[in-house]
Structure 1
Amino acid sequence: MSAMTRRVVVGTAVVSLAFAMAACGKTGGDKDNNSGGKGKVIGLLLPDTVTARYEQFDRPLIEKKIKELCADCTVDYANAAGQPQTQAQQISSMITRGVKVLILDPQDSAGVKSSVQSAVDKGIKVVSYDRLAQGPVSAYVSYDNEKVGELQGQALLDAMGPAATPQAKIVMINGDDADPNAAQFKAGAHKVLDGKVDIAYEQSGLWKDNIATQKVNAAITQIGAKNIKGVYSANDTMAGGIATALRGAGLHVPLTGQDAELAGIQRILTGAQTATVFKDYQPEADATAELAINLLNGKSIASLTDTTVASGSGQKVPSKLLTAASITKANVKDIVTKYHLYTAAQICTGEFAQPCKDAGIQ
Structure 2
Amino acid sequence: MTNTTSLAATTAIAALFATVGVAQEAATVAFLMPDQASTRYEEQDYPGFQASMDRLCPDCTVIYQNGNGDVALQQQQFNSVIAQGAKVVVLNPVDSSAAAAMVEIAQAQDVTIIAYDRPIPGTPADYYISFDNEGIGYAIAQSLVEHLQAQGVPAGSGVLQINGSPTDAAAGLIRDGSRKALAESEYETLSEFDTPDWAPPRAQEWAAGQITRFGGDIIGVVAANDGTAGGAIAAFKAAGVDPVPPVTGNDATIAALQLIIAGDQYNTISKPSIIVAEAAAEAAVAFLSGTVPESEMMLYDTPSQLFVPAVVTKENIKAEIFDAGIRTPEEVCTGEYVEPCRALGITD
Question: One fold, TM greater than 0.5?
Answer: yes
Which sits farther off after the overlay, 293-302 or 100-109? 293-302
Aligned counterpart for 1:177 among listed residues 125, 144, 166: 166
Provide the alpha-carbon RMSD of the alignment: 2.0
SS of 1:277's equivalent in the other structure is strand
Counterpart pick for 2:40 among 30, 53, 56:
53
Check conservation: 1:169, 1:227, Cα contact below 8 A.
Answer: yes
For the pair 1:144 / 2:144, whether they are aligned, the reply is no
More helix per residue: 2
The one-character-per-residue Cα deviations of 1:88-115 (angstroms, maximum 9, x if unpaired) are 1110111111101000001101012112
> Residues 134-283 of structure 1 correspond to what in structure 2 (within 5 A)?
134-161=122-149, 162-194=151-183, 195-206=185-196, 207-223=198-214, 225-251=215-241, 252-283=244-275
Q: Which amino acid aligns with 1:307?
A: M
1:35-75 Cα shifts (integer Å, max 9, x gaps): xxx94000000001111211111111011111111111110
Aligned length: 327
List gaps (5 residues or longer) in structure 2: 12-24
The 1-side partners of 2:72 and 2:155 are apart by 43
1:109-146 deviations in Å (ceiling 9; x for gaps)? 10121122112111100000111123241100011111
The TM-score, its normalising length taken from structure 1, stands at 0.86
1:165 Cα deviation after fit: 3.9
Distance, in Å, in 1 between the alignment partners of 2:204 and 2:91 is 29
TM-score using structure 2 length: 0.90
Amino acid at match of 1:176: S
- Amino acid aligned to 2:220: G
- Structure 1's 255 and 7: CA in aligned 2 closer, same or farther, altered over 3 A? farther
Partner deviation per Cα, 1:126-171 (whole Å, 9 max, x = no partner): 0001111232411000111111111111121122234444420111
Contact 1:91 1:119 in 2 (8 A): no
C-alpha distance in structure 1 between counterparts of 2:280 and 2:49, whole Å: 7
Q: Is the 8 A contact 1:170 1:198 kept in 2?
A: yes
The equivalent residue for 1:102 is 89
| Long gaps (5+) in structure 1 | 15-37, 311-315
Cα gap change, 1:213 to 1:283, in 2 (>3 Å)? same
| Residue 54 (structure 2) aligned to one of 52, 61, 67 | 67
Contact kept, 8 Å, 1:105 with 1:129, in 2: the verdict is yes
